[in-house]
Structure 1
């Protein structure tokens, strides 16, 4: 069973995503802020991370960059999400995530993207 760490500060959206993923046989660790993310990654060992860029009191872009610089987390696929940034902005900022979903996104698109990334060899 694939493990997905979902970092999202909107409790309603987090709940919907968690329910959707669990219904599709993913093991989910929901996280509402990025503060403990590296401890959670070490303990939960996710196969993929789904993370909002705009987190309450934190910048998901900075967390993403830190994920990419650490040898133990650099190879984990990351899907960034946000309602405030276009895909062009993400590319200009060199936030080379494995995927980017602009909110609002269709849940079917999220599932397809996760399936694609989890099939790719590491």
Structure 2
């Protein structure tokens, strides 16, 4: 059985722990990263099936990282779900290099699972 691999990127280790526990219980393999600097390298090395990416990453902007991923030939097909405490991200989804979906913080566990399943099934 092949586990789908999810990369979660957030500078809040408590949030990463929660995401990892929830998604591992759902049968996913979860990799976590606490900063935005190593995202491209982590994606290159691990080829995740989905990326959960926080918007505010301690001095880095997750939206820029998302755009870089979406413009990269090798990574552009990987779904990216942005996570943010800001709720006005709907307009983000319309821009070039946009994420595939977004999840507002604090997030509902069932909503997280629903979005992950939907993106992996797409």
Report the TM-score when normalising by structure 1.
0.91
Give 5+ residue unaligned stretches, structure 1.
none
Q: 1:107 to 1:95 in 2, by over 3 A?
A: farther
Kindly tell me the number of residue pairs found equivalent between the two proteins: 120
Deviations, residues 23-79 of structure 1 (Å, cap 9, x unaligned): 111101100011011111111110000000111121101101100111000110000
Report the TM-score when normalising by structure 2.
0.91
Q: Post-superposition, which runs of at least 4 consecutive aligned residues in structure 1 deviate over 3 A?
A: 91-95
> Conserved in 2, the CA contact under 8 Å of 1:86 and 1:102?
no
SS in 2 for 1:46: coil
Q: How does 1:34-49 map to 2 (within 5 A)?
A: 34-49=36-51
Deviation at 1:88, TM superposition (A): 3.5
In structure 2, the residue matched to 1:19 is 21
Give 5+ residue unaligned stretches, structure 2.
none
SS in 2 for 1:13: helix
Matches of 2:93 and 2:119, distance apart in 1: 19
Q: For 2:6, which of 4, 7, 27 is the aligned residue? A: 4
Q: 1:96 to 1:19 in 2, by over 3 A?
A: same
SS in 2 for 1:80: strand
